């Protein structure tokens, strides 16, 4: 891959697209550096097209000050990121620069660094023996990275079978030290392996045995997701919603409480202050499952909206590649990307500048293909050593004008299996999370593997209960429409009963206060308890004389249930409210199944 360094010169400049003259071979997607003669800054760029002997390169930064005849140096490599111990808890930009290593308040153009410290020492513990036959991605040993065993693997680029010729004994080594030597079974030169390897971000890492159908729910602590539209380990989902509907808050909540081993957050073209919130709060917040700080299981890839557009495209791939690296170690990785629309817009800007014929809304024609092959990199896999591992991917989509028929949403709908539609109407009436209970879906509820798992591990009638509660919500909506058309007095009292039962579900189960210490995270056990309690209310028959009585009764019930949501599960306070609820119900109840 490493052809010698070749040099060319700038011929034309249009925004961040530069044409280069060069008398040497050039690879598509090759990385090159433009040296701005004026300031001597080296600007990173990528070959995106070759036309009429001119090489078109896309510069990852502003081209202000670049002149014709400035020098361009071609490196011979595609854009590759560094993989190895030391990525955990890092704040990286879209091109994998460690933001904390960059000095000064402002991001100076042309400042790049390496996210991994090659001189850092780790204690290596070999697990493979000399003589073992290995393939790409097989485990050789491990080192301790923060709290977990970071597996050192054979290079993912390894072709064919190799034999372990040498492996270093237990001891301290630097990341760049050779810790194993492999020799190809088919003959050839030996390969030295260090803890560090590189991988081109646009290619998926496929060093596993097989990809399987998902079956195991991923807990997020968000009731309307876990119970009504569950996400699976290795599943894919997306959250479209107009601005102001709580996309980002929802993603933050998921990133805090999801039952994953590692969270990779790709802040792609979004607000800097939102990322700052993660920077500042994650080191303080605790993971409710392990008690460790959230930051210890998080990697942030941050390319905010004011950072260069071209590296925005790279940022989602960087995040995915890092996720794949950790998946290879047998971890359950959750990748969150906010927002994939910004990524699509970056693709649009680039395609626009290249003067390609546009597709719908000026997006590139192959947008759907690009999005679906990205979503396809998630999944539940069986590694070479038969251990399970997964990447769950949830992306947000910011549909232009809140219109779910726009190209990015449409394209994503074809690739993602869970759809969490955020509704403007719910956000307007502050019913958060604004996930629409009727439009949203999880295709996984239909998987027989998933149903079996839930029956066995949650409760035998779990799936039936979920469908039942969805039915109550739907009936409530129909009743509400009738009440609205005919008026409170002109509909049978039963309509009010149905409507208010659905409001009870809405206020006490669908809605969740993500800013309350207790309510923000609801474990599945608690969800199950509340679901059964609310179903009991829905199934009960009450005696009412007039619709105002119905309203008052259910408002009371809602109030008590909400107080329960705010109280720690099974605490004294919680149980007191439960008693109060039973009393209130008993007053009006005529029968109940």
Partner 1 sequence: MSNQAFQKVFTNLTTITKATCTVQAEGISNEEMALVDGMPAQVVKIIDDQVTLQVFSGTSGIFTNSEVVFLGYSPRLKVSDELCGRFFNAYGEPIDGGPIVEGKETEIGGPTVNPVRREQPSELIATGIAGIDLNNTLVSGQKIPFFADPNQPYNQIMADIALRAQVDKIILGGMGMLHDDYLYYKSVFDNAGEMDKIVCFMNTTDDSPVERILIPDMALTAAEYFAVEKNEKVLVLLTDMTLYCDALAIVSNRMDQIPTKDFMPGSLYSDLAKIYEKAVQFPAGGSITILAVTTLSGGDITHAIPDNTGYITEGQLFLRMDTDVSKVIVDPFRSLSRLKQLVIGKKTREDHPQVMNACVRLYSDSANAKTKLENGFDLSDYDKRALDFAKEYSKNILAIDINITVDEMLERCWTLFGKFFGKHEVGIKQELIDKFWKGE
Q: Is 515 in the site for partner 1 (CB under 8 A)?
A: yes
Q: Which stretch binds partner 1 (CB under 8 A): 126-134, 197-205, 470-478, 485-493?
A: 485-493
* Count of positions on this chain that bind partner 1 (CB under 8 A): 72
Q: Which stretch binds partner 1 (CB under 8 A): 77-85, 104-112, 126-134, 144-152?
A: 104-112
Could you give the string, one character per residue 406-445, with x where binding to partner 1 holds by CB under 8 A and - elsewhere? ----------------------xxx---------------
Closer residue to partner 1 in complex, CB, 516/582:
516
Other Cβ atoms less than 10 A from the Cβ of 195: the count is 27
* Cβ-count burial 113-134 (b if 16+ within 10 Å, e if not): eebbbeeeebebebebeeeeeb
Q: Within 13 Å of residue 498, how many CA atoms lie on the same side as its CB?
A: 19
Locate tokens 């001189």: which residue? 119
According to CB under 8 A, which one of 6, 49, 212, 271 is a site residue for partner 1?
Answer: 271
Closer residue to partner 1 in complex, CB, 232/245:
245
CA distance 21 to 36: 16
Q: Is 306 in the site for partner 1 (CB under 8 A)?
A: yes
According to CB under 8 A, which one of 178, 185, 276, 376 is a site residue for partner 1?
Answer: 276
Helix axes 247-257, 272-281, angle to 10 degrees: 20
Other Cβ atoms less than 10 A from the Cβ of 421: the count is 21
Positions in 171-210 near partner 1 (CB under 8 A): none
Asked if residue 433 has a cis previous peptide bond (ω within 30° of 0), the answer is: yes
Shortest distance, CB of residue 83 to partner 1, whole angstroms?
A: 22
Q: Is 502 in the site for partner 1 (CB under 8 A)?
A: no
404 and 419 in contact (C-beta within 8 Å)?
Answer: no
Closer residue to partner 1 in complex, CB, 330/359:
359
Q: Which stretch binds partner 1 (CB under 8 A): 99-107, 175-183, 210-218, 314-322?
A: 99-107
Closer residue to partner 1 in complex, CB, 142/296:
296
Q: Which stretch binds partner 1 (CB under 8 A): 202-210, 303-311, 380-388, 448-456?
A: 303-311
**Sign of dihedral through CA atoms 105, 111, 114, 119?**
negative
Q: Which stretch binds partner 1 (CB under 8 A): 112-120, 356-364, 412-420, 521-529?
A: 356-364
Q: Is 109 in the site for partner 1 (CB under 8 A)?
A: yes
Q: Is 549 in the site for partner 1 (CB under 8 A)?
A: no
Pairing of strands 30-35, 42-51: antiparallel
CA distance 44 to 46: 7
Q: Is 66 in the site for partner 1 (CB under 8 A)?
A: yes
What phi, psi does 373 have (nearest 5°)?
Answer: -75, -25
Cβ contacts of 430 within 8 Å, gap of 6 or more: none
**Segments in 376-447 forming alpha helices (H):** 407-415, 424-428
Q: Is 548 in the site for partner 1 (CB under 8 A)?
A: yes
Shortest distance, CB of residue 487 to partner 1, whole angstroms?
A: 4
């Amino acid at each position: 891959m490493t052809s010698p360094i070749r040099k060319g010169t700038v011929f034309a400049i249009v925004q961040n697209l530069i044409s280069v003259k060069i008398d040497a071979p050039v690879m598509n997607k090759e990385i090159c550096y433009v040296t701005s003669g004026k300031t001597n800054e080296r600007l990173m760029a990528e070959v995106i097209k070759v036309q009429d002997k001119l090489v078109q390169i896309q510069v990852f930064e502003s081209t202000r000050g670049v002149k014709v005849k400035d020098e361009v140096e071609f490196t011979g490599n595609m854009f590759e990121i560094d993989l190895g111990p030391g990525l955990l808890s890092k704040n990286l930009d879209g091109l994998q620069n460690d933001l904390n290593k960059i000095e000064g308040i402002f991001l100076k153009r042309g400042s790049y660094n390496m996210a991994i410290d090659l001189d850092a020492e780790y204690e290596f513990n070999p697990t493979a023996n000399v003589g073992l036959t290995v393939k790409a991605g097989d485990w050789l040993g491990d080192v301790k990275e923060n709290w977990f065993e970071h597996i050192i693997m054979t290079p993912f680029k390894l072709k064919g079978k190799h034999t372990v010729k040498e492996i270093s004994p237990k001891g301290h080594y630097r990341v760049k030290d050779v810790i194993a030597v492999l020799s190809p079974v088919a003959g050839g030169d030996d390969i030295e392996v260090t803890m560090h390897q590189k991988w081109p971000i646009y290619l998926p890492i496929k060093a596993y045995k097989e990809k399987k159908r998902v079956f195991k729910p991923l807990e997020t602590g968000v009731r309307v997701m876990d119970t009504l539209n569950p996400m699976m380990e290795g599943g894919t989902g997306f959250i479209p919603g107009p601005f102001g509907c709580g996309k980002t808050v929802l993603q933050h909540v998921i990133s805090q409480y999801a039952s994953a081993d590692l969270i990779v957050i790709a802040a792609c073209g979004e607000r800097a202050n939102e990322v700052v919130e993660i920077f500042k709060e994650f080191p303080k917040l605790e993971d409710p499952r392990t008690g460790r700080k959230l930051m210890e299981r998080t990697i942030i890839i941050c390319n905010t909206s004011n950072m260069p557009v071209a590296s925005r495209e790279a940022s989602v791939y960087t995040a995915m590649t890092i996720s794949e690296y950790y998946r290879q170690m047998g971890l359950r990785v959750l990748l969150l990307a906010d927002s994939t629309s910004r990524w699509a817009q970056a693709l649009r800007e680039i395609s626009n500048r290249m003067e390609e014929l546009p597709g719908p809304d000026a997006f590139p024609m192959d947008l759907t293909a690009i999005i679906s092959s990205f979503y396809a990199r998630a999944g539940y896999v069986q590694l070479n050593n038969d251990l399970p591992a997964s990447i769950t991917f949830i992306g947000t989509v910011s549909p232009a004008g809140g219109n779910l028929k726009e190209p990015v949403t449409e394209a994503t709908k074809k690739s993602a299996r869970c759809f969490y539609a955020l509704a403007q109407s719910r956000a307007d009436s502050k019913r958060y999370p604004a996930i629409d209970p009727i439009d949203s879906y999880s295709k996984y509820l239909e998987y027989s593997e998933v149903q079996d798992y839930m029956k066995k591990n949650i409760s035998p009638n779990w799936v039936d209960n979920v469908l039942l509660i969805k039915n109550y919500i739907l009936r409530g909506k129909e009743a509400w429409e009738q009440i609205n058309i005919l008026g409170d007095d002109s509909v049978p009292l039963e309509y009010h009963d149905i409507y208010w039962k659905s409001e009870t579900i809405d206020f006490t189960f669908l809605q969740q206060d993500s800013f309350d210490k207790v309510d923000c995270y609801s474990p599945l056990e608690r969800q199950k308890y509340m679901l059964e309690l609310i179903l009991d209310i829905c199934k009960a028959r009450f005696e009412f004389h007039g619709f105002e009585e119905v309203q008052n009764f259910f408002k009371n019930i809602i109030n008590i249930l909400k107080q329960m949501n705010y109280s720690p599960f099974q605490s004294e306070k919680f149980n007191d409210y439960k008693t109060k609820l039973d009393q209130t119900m008993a007053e009006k109840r005529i029968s109940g199944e």
